[in-house]
Amino acid sequence: MIGRHRHLIGLEDLSREEILEVLKLAVSMKEVLRRPLKKVPTLRGKAVVNLFFEASTRTRSSFETAAKILSADALNWTSAGSSVTKGETLVDTARNLEAMRPDVLVIRHAASGAPRLVAESVACSVVSAGDGAHEHPSQGLLDAFTLAEHFTRASGAGPEAPPDFGLFAGKTVVIVGDVSHSRVARSGLHCLPKLGARVRVCGPPTMIPAGIEKLGAEVHYSLQKAVEGADAVMMLRIQHERIGDPLIPNTREYSRLWGLNARKAADWLTPQCCILHPGPINRGVELSPDVADGPRSVILDQVQNGVAVRMAILYLLAGGGAADV
C-alpha cells in the first residue's frame, strides 16, 4: 500500500504525504542499489509482471532491475498487437496474467486510462508505467527525487547528504516542450506543487493545453522568460510526429525556439539551475550535446533514481514485511 492506495495509477491520486512516503523509502533503496552487492531478500517469493503494450526497453528494464534487486521474480509480457479499441482484450489479458498470481502488474499502454481499467479488473496491485498522454507516475516521482537531491547539493550539504524533501518550498521548476501530449509533464504537474514547488510550463502555443493554469502552472511562450530565475528546467522529448506542425516546421526551428544550448544556458540560467530530461534525448534538438553532458545535467541521476523509486513502489505495493533492506 502507498498510503491508502493498492495501485499506482497517477500522482493526481496521491497526497503530499503519500508522495513523501515513496520518496523517503527510495532513499534507503538507492543505498541498496549502490552497494557492491545489490541484492536484498525483501520480496523473495513475490512476482512482478511487466505488461508492456508499447515498446520501452528503458522503463521496462528499470522495473525489472528494481524487482530483481529486491529478489522478486520478474516476468516480461510484451504485446504489440493490442489496440486502443480492444478494451476487452486488454482486460482479458490482464485477468489471465493475474490468474498466474503476480503480486504487481506493471502496465504501459498507448491508451490513457488503460491501467485504471486493468486495476478495476484484477485483485493484484497495478502500477502504470505510462498510459497515453495521461500520467507516468514513477517518472514523476523519480524527477522529484532527483530535484530534491539537486536542491540538497545546491544548499551546500555534503555530497553524501540524503535528499531533503523539504527544500521544494519556494523553488521554481520549468517544463519545456510539448506539454499537451506529455504524460511526464502531467505527472510533474500533479506532483511538484504538492511538494511546494512552483511550476512554469513553456512551449509552442499549440502544445500547451488550455486550462493548464488550473493545475497551478504559470504559462510562458518565451523560453528566456520562462527560465528566468528558475531552479530547474525539465526538457521534454519532442516526438518526431509533432514536427511539421505549422509552428514547428522542422527540428532546427524547434531547437532554435525551444531547445537549450550552452550559450542560452550560460546567458539565461542561474548558476545553480539544473537540467532534467526523461530520455531518450534527441541530441541537438531539445538539448545540445554539451548541455546534455554538462555539469548542470542530472539526466543520468534520473535514470539511477528511477530504479530506486521503482524499488520503493514495488516494495510498498507487493506488501514487503518489515523494511529489512
x/- letters, 261..300, toward its own copies (CB under 8 A): ------------------xxx-x-----x----------x
Distance of CA 251 to the CA centre of its chain: 24
104's enclosing H/E stretch is: strand 104-109
Under rule CB under 8 A, residue 225 binds its own copies: no
Give the strands of the sheet with 73-78, arranged side by side. Answer: 73-78, 47-52, 104-109, 125-131
Least gap, CB of 232 to its own copies (angstroms): 19
> Could you tell me how many residues make up the chain?
325
Judged by beta carbon, residue 76 or residue 215, the one nearer its own copies is: 76
Among residues 11, 23, 94, 97, which is the contact residue for its own copies, using CB under 8 A? 97
Among residues 69, 106, 176, 233, which is the contact residue for its own copies, using CB under 8 A? 69
Among residues 1, 15, 83, 89, which is the contact residue for its own copies, using CB under 8 A? 89
Under rule CB under 8 A, residue 101 binds its own copies: yes
- Nearest alpha carbon to residue 288 among 267, 246, 258: 258
Judged by beta carbon, residue 37 or residue 210, the one nearer its own copies is: 37
Residue 210 burial (C-beta neighbours within 10 Å; 0-12, 13-18, 19+): exposed
Among residues 15, 31, 57, 262, which is the contact residue for its own copies, using CB under 8 A? 57
x/- letters, 21..50, toward its own copies (CB under 8 A): ------------xxxxxxx----xxxx-x-
Under rule CB under 8 A, residue 166 binds its own copies: no
Least gap, CB of 220 to its own copies (angstroms): 29
- Let me know the angle formed at the C-alpha of 243 by 134 and 84, rounded to the nearest 5 degrees: 35
Among residues 96, 222, 239, 250, which is the contact residue for its own copies, using CB under 8 A? 96
Helix, strand, coil percentages (3-state) for the chain, rounded to 5, are: 45, 15, 40
What is the C-alpha separation between 280 and 275, in angstroms, rounded? 14
- Nearest alpha carbon to residue 314 among 83, 177, 127, 61: 127
CA distances for 44 relative to 7, 66, 105, 124, 320, angstroms:
20, 13, 16, 17, 9
What is the C-alpha separation between 57 and 55, in angstroms, rounded? 6
Judged by beta carbon, residue 94 or residue 234, the one nearer its own copies is: 94
Judged by beta carbon, residue 88 or residue 267, the one nearer its own copies is: 88
Contacts with its own copies by CB under 8 A lie at 33-39, 44-47, 49, 57-58, 61-62, 64-65, 68-69, 73, 75, 77-79, 88-89, 92-93, 95-101, 279-281, 283, 289, 300-301, 303-304, 306-307, 319
